[in-house]
Amino acid sequence: MKGVILTIAPSASIVDVTHEIEKFNIKMGAFILASAAPYFPKGTVHLAVIDPGVGTERRGIVIETNQGYFVGPDNGLLMLAAETQKIIRIHQLTNPKLMLPKISGTFHGRDVFAPAAAYLQRGVKPEEFGLEIKDAVKPEFAQVQQSGNCIIGRVLMVDSFGNIITNISSEKLTKSAKTLLLVNINNHELKLTLKRAYGEVKPAEALALIGSHGFLEIALNQGNAAEKYQAKMDMKITVSQNSR
Amino acid sequence: MKGVILTIAPSASIVDVTHEIEKFNIKMGAFILASAAPYFPKGTVHLAVIDPGVGTERRGIVIETNQGYFVGPDNGLLMLAAETQKIIRIHQLTNPKLMLPKISGTFHGRDVFAPAAAYLQRGVKPEEFGLEIKDAVKPEFAQVQQSGNCIIGRVLMVDSFGNIITNISSEKLTKSAKTLLLVNINNHELKLTLKRAYGEVKPAEALALIGSHGFLEIALNQGNAAEKYQAKMDMKITVSQNSR
Amino acid sequence: MKGVILTIAPSASIVDVTHEIEKFNIKMGAFILASAAPYFPKGTVHLAVIDPGVGTERRGIVIETNQGYFVGPDNGLLMLAAETQKIIRIHQLTNPKLMLPKISGTFHGRDVFAPAAAYLQRGVKPEEFGLEIKDAVKPEFAQVQQSGNCIIGRVLMVDSFGNIITNISSEKLTKSAKTLLLVNINNHELKLTLKRAYGEVKPAEALALIGSHGFLEIALNQGNAAEKYQAKMDMKITVSQNSR
């Protein structure tokens, strides 16, 4: 893919964000992309490929926002990030003149998306790639439920440190160090207070914090929380907040 | 290695193709390099190091082709890719003026190959590195045997998705969706038809396809075929083609 | 982090040295950084983050040397590399104008260190980041003990090939192929001579050599020495040198 990009757009500056998304895990990819995209310069072309449907009828798309472009499969991967910006328009990638001459059935990253990203970097406009669409697939992320002081969310992902990242955003929580959080995950009952950093508790001790992504995170200082509590993606997590 | 390259050739644009070749697996490295090289711009210097013989008498070489350069050990790693292009000449890397001043016995990637790649990028010619040679080592890849409608090949590699990539190239196969392929691998008998994409079968179902590299591939849609069939590199695979 | 750097310093050339340091292993990170830094061009800004204390009182620092800059946490990670160069001055990173506007408690790499590295690349001077300090944390690496012909050191790290890298530097050893090294590691007694390359012994055979980093290394040719001898970081290793 990088060879294709540099062949079409020799001056492109290519940055690897990550190659460590779990296979086929669109949700995790969407989350990482949404976390990273806001920190890139205006005009950046973001290219992402997690593509269980490659070669089937799923569409390839380019999303233009007020901050830049997103290129990839129309399976929800791009939309979480794009929706944090202002979406201007979405076009399909169907113009064969803006693809490699020979398209394999299994590697659209190289044959379709990399050329599209490179042509966008060179100034080609979204409408030249294909028709505008209005029905791009949105990621179906587990919604947070709230009743009284109780919040029911889900594990969004476990990072490589074993930190449990939930889909409970910081706005749902009382950010007071005096508030006791009763957390239930996988039948483990934890009494935690919100910390600002892992190092505020002893090594191996559990804590709750708002992670760098803006979501509630359950972690062990220098330990693996997911392993300790056998937490996995999509698991239910309940949090009740009690002032002390 | 990147530090050395940028010290000698500050304007070089460095692209990582992969750091995930199995240790000492020259064959897998040769295959990945041959897959990626055609997609890079003309004039690219390809640097590859899988080097079980580092520090022994094996030679370092630069291969000039009509498309660019290949730099690395003379152990077969470079030749599969170079032979898909037109080889112009091959020179040894023996000129100490084009190496780092102090050569370690174990890290020629940094001390010999990285400087050579950087000097090539700056325009130094192959003959300045050392004598021309005509006997570069060629990779001994298992050859495909064919008798009647039966093809006997080998597993070239298993990729990180568990897809089984064989050395049976697409030219050997009848590309008709009506042709039934009887595949035997590790005593597993599979009846498959050629698909164009993983998503054309149900999740966990087996399929055959011509992979993005141009070789027959046995895969499970969203599953791990190598695990299911305990397939490993170099295993024999037989394919018979029957029209239905 | 790369997005932040390119936003502040669009012309920066970013090189990944490694993302494979063990979690929280400051010693291993310090060692890799000290191994790689000397090979980068003069003026390079080295950014390193292994940061168990993120969000606590540990300081962020920039070290200016006669060769370039080092940016990261003040926990010993940077000093091993910086001390191989000539340290000119060390300043704290406390100026909020040279950080991202919103600092998370857990990701100073993105919010503090990446902006600092980018501003240094643009020419901002160390004194603009904060006060000069004289008490930066030094890494407490196990010291080598020596009595007569016997050296007692430690395993500094095990690399991804299973090679056992010790903290015994080449100056401590008689570099003669005639000198017999009696090595004891984890109660395994090995009789070795110093080789210049892995390939000088048969596959799976043990050897001693001065690795590319300049330290004594115990390895198996094409095998995993750490696995065979159950060697782990920080283990004691004794070496006695006997002329034959």
- Cβ-based neighbours of C147, under 8 Å, separated by 6 or more: none
Question: Chain A contact for C18, CB < 8 A?
Answer: no
- pLDDT for B244: 62
Per-residue model confidence (pLDDT) at position B140: 67
Q: Which of C32, C39, C196 best probes binding to B when mutated, by most B CB atoms within 10 angstroms? A: C39
Task: Using alpha carbons only, give the angle C66, C167, C243 rounded to the nearest 5 degrees.
Answer: 120
B·C CB contacts under 8 A: 59
Q: Give residue A6's pLDDT.
A: 97
Q: How many whole angstroms separate alpha carbon C65 and alpha carbon C43?
A: 9
**Nearest chain A CA: its distance from C39 CA (Å):** 22
Q: Which of B39, B40, B158, B220 to mutate to test the interface with A (most CBs of A within 10 A)?
A: B39
Looking up tokens 């990621």 gives A139
How far C11 CA sits from the closest chain B CA (Å)? Answer: 11
Residue C153 CB-half CA count within 13 A: 21
The arithmetic mean of pLDDT across residues B33-41, rounded, is: 93
In this model, does residue A24 exceed pLDDT 90? no
Q: Rounded distance, CA A193 to CA C83, Å?
A: 41
Interval B9-25 mean pLDDT = 90
Q: List CB contacts (< 8 A) between B7 and chain C.
A: 39-41
Please tell me if residue B180 touches chain C, with a CB cutoff of 8 Å.
no
Q: What is the pLDDT, as a whole number, of residue A103?
A: 85
Q: Is the pLDDT of residue B142 over 60?
A: no
- Give me the pLDDT at residue B160, please: 84
Cα–Cα dist C93/B162, whole Å: 46
Nearest to B105 among C36, C41, C196 (CB): C196
C104–chain A Cβ distance below 8 A for any pair: yes
Contact A7 B195 (CB under 8 A): no
Query: Rounded to a whole number, what is the distance in Å from the CA of B44 to chain A's nearest CA?
Result: 9
Instruction: Please give the Cα distance from B140 to A146 (Å, whole number).
Output: 64
- Selecting from B40, B161, B198 the residue whose C-beta is nearest the C-beta of A6 gives B40
A47 Cα to chain B: minimum distance (Å): 16
- 37-76 in B: which are within 8 Å (CB) of A? 37, 39-41, 44
The C-alpha of A41 sits at a distance from chain C's nearest C-alpha, in angstroms, of 5
- pLDDT category at A241 given cuts 50, 70, 90 is confident
Nearest residue of C to residue A46, measured between CA atoms: C3
d(CA C20, CA C29): 9
Cα nearest neighbour of A204 on chain C:
C52
- Cβ atoms B166, B215 nearer than 8 A: yes
Looking at per-residue confidence, does A141 or C176 come out higher? C176
In the block, residue with structure tokens 């644009």 = B13
Mean pLDDT of C186-201: 90
CB contact under 8 A, A55 and B198: yes
Structure token digits, residue A4: 């294709």
Buried (b) or exposed (e) across B146-177, using 16+ Cβ within 10 A? eeeeebbbbbbbbbeebbbbbbbeeeebeeee
Task: List the single range of B208-212, C92-96, C106-110, C143-147 with lowest mean pLDDT.
Answer: C143-147
Residues B148-177: what's their mean pLDDT?
86
In chain B, the percentage of residues whose pLDDT exceeds 70 is 98
Partner residue facing A3 (CB), from B36, B196, B212: B36
Q: What percent of chain C has pLDDT over 90?
A: 63
A2 contact residues in B (CB cutoff 8 A): 15, 17
What pLDDT score was predicted for residue C189?
Answer: 94
Residue B68 has pLDDT above 60, yes or no: yes
DSSP result, A28-89: HHHHHHHHHGGGSPTTEEEE----TTTTSSPPEEEEEESSEEEEEESSSTTHHHHTTS-EEE
- State how far residue B212 is from chain A, nearest Cα, in angstroms: 6
The pLDDT of residue C217: 94
Q: How confident is the model at residue A138 (pLDDT cuts 50, 70, 90)?
A: confident
Contact flag B106-C195 (C-beta cutoff 8 Å) = no
The candidate with the shortest Cα–Cα distance to A226, out of A160, A170, A142, A167, is A160
Phi, psi of B128 (to 5 degrees): -75, -15
Distance CA B111, CA C211 (A): 13
Residue A120 has pLDDT above 90, yes or no: yes
CA distance C120 to chain B (A): 18
pLDDT band for position C143 (cuts 50, 70, 90):
low
Strand order in the sheet with C60-65: C44-47, C68-73, C60-65, C87-92
> Residue B215: what pLDDT?
84
Question: Are the beta carbons of C198 and B55 separated by less than 8 Å?
Answer: yes
When CB atoms are compared, the residue of C41, C161, C212 closest to B7 is C41
Mean pLDDT for chain A? 91
**Which band of pLDDT confidence, cut at 50, 70 and 90, is reported for residue B124?**
very high
pLDDT of res. A143? 67
Residue A142: pLDDT above 70?
A: no
DSSP B201: S
Main-chain phi, psi angles of C26, to 5 degrees: -60, -40
pLDDT score, position B110: 95
Question: What b-and-e string marks burial along A119-130, b requiring 16 or more CB atoms within 10 Å of the CB?
Answer: bbbeebebeebb
Q: How far is Cα B42 from Cα B44, in angstroms, rounded to an integer?
A: 6
The pLDDT of residue B10: 95
Kindly list the residues from chain B whose CB atom is less than 8 angstroms away from the CB atom of residue C196: 55, 105
Could you tell me the pLDDT band of residue B143, with boundaries at 50, 70 and 90?
A: low
Once rounded to an integer, what is the mean pLDDT over residues B48-54?
87
Least CB–CB distance from B15: residue in A6, A106, A110: A6
Q: Which residue has the higher pLDDT, B13 or C55?
A: B13
pLDDT band at B8 (very low <50, low <70, confident <90, very high): very high
Residue B29: how many CB atoms within 10 A of its CB?
Answer: 27
Kind of pairing between the strands at A87-92 and C87-92: unpaired
Tell me how far CA of residue A11 lies from CA of A14, B6, B11, B18, B41, in angstroms. Answer: 9, 17, 11, 21, 12
By the 8 A CB rule, do C194 and C179 touch? yes
The torsion defined by the Cα of B95, B97, B103 and B108, in degrees rounded to 10, comes to -60
Answer yes or no: do C222 and B24 touch at CB < 8 A: yes
Contact B6 C210 (CB under 8 A): no
Shortest CA distance from C199: residue in chain B: B53
Higher pLDDT, A115 or A244: A115
Tens of pLDDT, residue by residue over B181-196, are 999 999 999 999 888 8
Q: Which of C14, C52, C104 has the CB atom closest to A199's CB atom?
A: C52
pLDDT bracket for residue C41 (50, 70, 90): very high
Answer yes or no: is pLDDT of B141 > 80. Answer: no
Q: How confident is the model at residue A220 (pLDDT cuts 50, 70, 90)?
A: very high
Mean pLDDT of chain B: 91
Q: Which residue has the tokens 């060692």?
A: C31
CB-based contact (8 Å) between C205 and chain B? no
More confidently predicted of C96 and C213: C96
Give the minimum alpha-carbon distance from B115 to chain C in angstroms, rounded to a whole number: 11
Calculated CA dihedral for residues A121, C111, A234, A243, nearest 10 degrees? -150
Q: Which residue, among A196, A182, A176, A195, has the nearest Cα to A152 in the 3D structure?
A: A182
Strand partners, A183: A190, A239
In a 10 Å sphere around its CB, with 0-12 CB exposed, 13-18 middle and 19+ buried, how is residue B82 labelled?
A: buried
Percent of chain A with pLDDT over 70: 98
Whether the per-residue pLDDT at B40 is higher than 80: the answer is yes
ipTM of predicted complex: 0.81
Tens of pLDDT, residues A66-112: 999 999 999 999 998 998 889 999 999 999 999 999 888 789 999 99
Q: Which of residues 216-235 of C touch B (CB under 8 A)?
A: 221-222
Rounded CA Rg of chain B: 20
For tokens 């992504």, the residue is A213
- Work out whether strand A188-195 and strand A179-185 pair parallel, antiparallel, or are unpaired: antiparallel
Facing B55 at nearest CB: one of C16, C37, C196? C196
| pLDDT at residue C234, as a whole number | 86
Total-model pTM: 0.83
Residues of chain A contacting residue C1, judged by C-beta atoms under 8 Å apart = 39
Chains that touch A (3 or more CB pairs under 8 A): B, C
* pLDDT value, residue C157: 86
Give yes or no for a contact between C198 and B54, defined as CB atoms under 8 angstroms apart: yes
Q: What's the pLDDT score for residue B115?
A: 98
pLDDT for residue B95 is more than 90: yes
Decide if C14 contacts C6 (C-beta within 8 A): yes
Write down the pLDDT at residue A23.
79
Residue C225's pLDDT is what? 96
